[in-house]
Structures are given as structure tokens and as C-alpha cells.
Amino acid sequence: MTNVDVLTYAGNPANLDGVVEEHGERYEFFKADIAHADQMDALMTEHQFYAVINFAAESHVDRSINSPLNFIHTNVVGTSVLLDCVRRHGVQRFIQISTDEVYGSLGSTGKFTEQSPLDPSSPYSASKAGADLLALACHKTYGQDVIVTRCSNNYGPYQFPEKLIPLMIIKALRNEPLPVYGDGQNVRDWIHVNDHCAAIVAALFEGKAGRVYNFGGNSEMVNLDLVKMILQRLGKPARLISFVEDRLGHDRRYAIDSAFAQRELNWKPRHQFEEGLAETMQWYIENPNWWQPLLERAGRY
């Protein structure tokens, strides 16, 4: 297995502690930018890969609003470069890891399916939608074995502190104000990172070329209720909640229908949200040596 990462602000080699010891020569790290064709070509010339799984992405919506070009570079250009290299070097399968945000916002009812129209609301989600379309076009044009997966919000250990759940846990632990956008009534569906990884493995080995698979955790929750739950579990007062100006283009509700993926891939989410959240909170409580340096380096949280 070859791990390619350019190590931006969110990249943290400490996330891979123990991987080399566990996997030995079966694992290698290659620092590179997926948007640099020469680097990707050299890597695929050196190795004969069965599959490329494109996790690489700029993913924080707030940052995309402030600096869209970084997202176009990695999410669109990078995906295009990878698809081209995969095709030229005879890599059998390409998995494009995407997001439910490409579908836009839902009303109070209904769920996204694989047939839902794309209606992105932010530069981030637009860049991911563009990458998805490039990948699927390569299947139609060149006959490449491409699969697109779209997932709801992930949570779990090792998540960078700018994301909602770790941000709120860390702010609460430090007795700092917890910023909640708008009225806090936005709804998200949450999936544990381990369930998402299991779904990707299932798609890799059981998925059919040209298909889109939606992965959700069946765990819809209002953001404000989630923040209150975190405070309650930590024994912190609700007065720490600080309502802030709403995010531009903020989608109101996401919900994923993953029935098709469950049937075709023989997969389903295993984690119950409240138990998974409790385990995640405990991890952040026990691992300040992991997240404190990230806060100091980022200088904004």
C-alpha cells in the first residue's frame, strides 16, 4: 500500500504511528501533490497498482469560501491528473471518495439517493461534484473502471479540530465559547469513520464499475442538539454556546439513503451514534498530545 499525501495544514504524520511497524514493507509513504502529473506518473511507473482510492481533498467548507482556488487545484485538477495516470498505467480500478454535499440541501423530509440531482452550494461541494463528473465521464468515454462513493458527515478519532465534533469537544474541554452557526437548526447525518472505511473496502472489492454508492449512518441530528449533548456529557454549562453569523450558502439538512449500497455491497453501518460519540469524546479527552500541537500550528481554533 502506498500512501500519497502532500501534508497540508491538516496532514499529520502522527496519525500513522505504528503503521510501518504493523505492515513493514507492505506500506510506504510518498510525499507528493496529486495535481502534479510528473510526480504521479513517476509513482505509477515505479509500482503496479490494482487500484487507486482518491481520498485526497481540501474539505473544509469555510476555507473553500475564503480560498476556492485551493479546492479547484486539489479536488478537480488533482482528480483529473489521477484519472489520466490510472488510465495510462493500466490501473484496474479507481475509487473517487466524495460527499453528500454535492446534492445540496434537503427540506424537512426525504433523503438523498444515488439518483438525486447534483446541486452544490459551496466552492467545496462544487469542486467535489466536478471531480465526480470527471470520474464518471472517464468510465463512459474510456471504459475506465470507476466507482464514486458519497458519504455523510464522518466522526471519530484523529479528526482535524476544525470539524464540528472535535471542535466542540476541544472548545468545551478548554471552557471556551462553542461557536454555532445561525440558529443551530441545521441537520446532519453522522457516520463513524470505521463504518465509512468498511464501506469503501466493500465498494473496492464488490462494487460495479460506473456506479455511485451513498453511505450514511442513519444518525440525523440537529447541530444545536449535538452541541448540547457534548456539553452535557462533559458536565459543561450550556452558556458556553455562542451563536455566530451563519455560514454563507449554509445547507439546511442532509440525509442519506444508503439502501442501494447496503443491498449491492452487503454493507451496513455498525456504530450507534451515541455510543460512537461517547468513544470519540473519550479519545479526545485522553489524547491532548495529539490535538494541542495542531491547535498551536493552525493558530485559529
User: Is 101 annotated as catalytic?
Assistant: yes
Of 5, 58, 103, 124, which residue is the catalytic one?
A: 124
Please say whether the beta carbons of 198 and 162 come within 8 A. no
Whether 225 is catalytic is no
Residue 72 DSSP symbol: I
- The three-class DSSP label of residue 123 is helix
Letter string b/e over residues 12-47, b meaning 16 or more CB atoms within 10 A of that residue's CB = beeeeeeeeeeeeeeeeeeebbbbebebbeebbeee
Cβ–Cβ < 8 Å for 270, 195:
yes
Judged by DSSP in three states, 57 sits in: coil
The cell numbers describing 90, all together, are 493500466
- DSSP 8-state assignment for residue 183: T
Cell of 40: 504521479
**Nearest CA-CA partner of 293 in 4, 5, 13:** 13
Q: Which of 100, 162, 189, 251 is catalytic?
A: 100
Contacts of 58 (CB under 8 A, 6+ apart): 8, 64, 70, 71, 74, 75, 124, 127
Of 101, 162, 195, 257, the catalytic one is 101
- Angle among Cα 130, 134, 136 to the nearest 5 degrees reads 115
Q: Reply yes or no on whether 25 is catalytic.
A: no
Q: Report CA-CA distances (Å) from 231 to 160, 168, 189, 192, 276.
A: 19, 8, 20, 20, 16
Beta bridge partners of 31: 5
Active site residues: 100-101, 124
